[in-house]
Amino acid sequence: MIAVIRYGAGNVLSVMNALSRLGCKAVLTDDPEAIRSADKVIFPGVGEASSAMAYLDSHGLSDVIRSLKQPFLGICLGMQLMCSSSEEGNTECLGIFPERVTLFPKGRGYKIPHVGWNTITDLSGPLFRDTGEGEYVYFVHSYYVPLTPFTSAVAEYDGIAFSAALEKDNFLGVQFHPEKSADAGERILRAFLEGRQ
């Protein structure tokens, strides 16, 4: 079973639809036991960091997520919440990746949020087994994770190279939206669903 974590964040329906297109049965849940017993877990999200963390904490999900051993994929806000902290609302996050999520600097001529198709490079790890260097994926975000030893894909916006993906043990994260990234995103999701991390 694939558990998709429900925590008040947006964009969950498009993730569920993408999984359905791939022939995957998934359950949307905030039940700790259902999440613990899942074969794999997806942590999607579009939203605001502090309110999302408040939901996780109030439903006992923060400690559950940190304790998981099965393959785990965070998407967009889901990836950011896996870091130590975020400038968005000065939020303490889950601490899986020892990084601070940072707001793109204003006044450099580029629009914030970063919205649209962008290339990913320097790919490594199981998510990108069927993805070529320089493929395009879809981003929507104002905050980013700097490059880190856990970076498994890189993108650039306004001259800033940032982590398009992270990997540590069973925890994987992508800043982009694979469920909105056409064929490339479908291959990335399929690699997660079929992989054995």
Q: What is the pLDDT of residues 60-96, one digit of tens each?
A: 999 999 999 999 999 999 999 999 999 999 999 999 9
**Of residues 99, 135, 167, 179, which has the active-site annotation?**
179
For this structure, is 76 an active site residue? yes
State residue 106's pLDDT score.
Answer: 86
The total number of structural domains that make up the chain: 1
Q: Give me the domain span that covers residue 150.
A: 2-194
Query: Is 179 a catalytic site residue?
Result: yes
Is 99 labeled as catalytic in the residue annotation? Answer: no
pLDDT of residue 26: 95
DSSP the chain: -EEEE-SS-B-HHHHHHHHHHTT--EEEE--HHHHHH-SEEEE--BS-HHHHHHHHHHTTHHHHHHH--S-EEEETHHHHTTEEEETGGGEE---SEEEEEEEPPSSSSS-SSEEEEEEEBS--SGGGTT--TTEEEEEEESEEPPP-TTEEEEEEETTEEEEEEEEETTEEEESS-GGGSHHHHHHHHHHHHH---
Q: Which of 33, 93, 177, 194 is catalytic?
A: 177
Of the residues 48, 59, 76, 156, only one is catalytic, namely 76
Tell me the CATH number at 124.
Answer: 3.40.50.880
User: Which ranges of the chain have pLDDT less than 70?
Assistant: 196-197
Task: Check residue 196 and give its pLDDT.
Answer: 57
Q: Check residue 140 and give its pLDDT.
A: 96
pLDDT at 160: 95
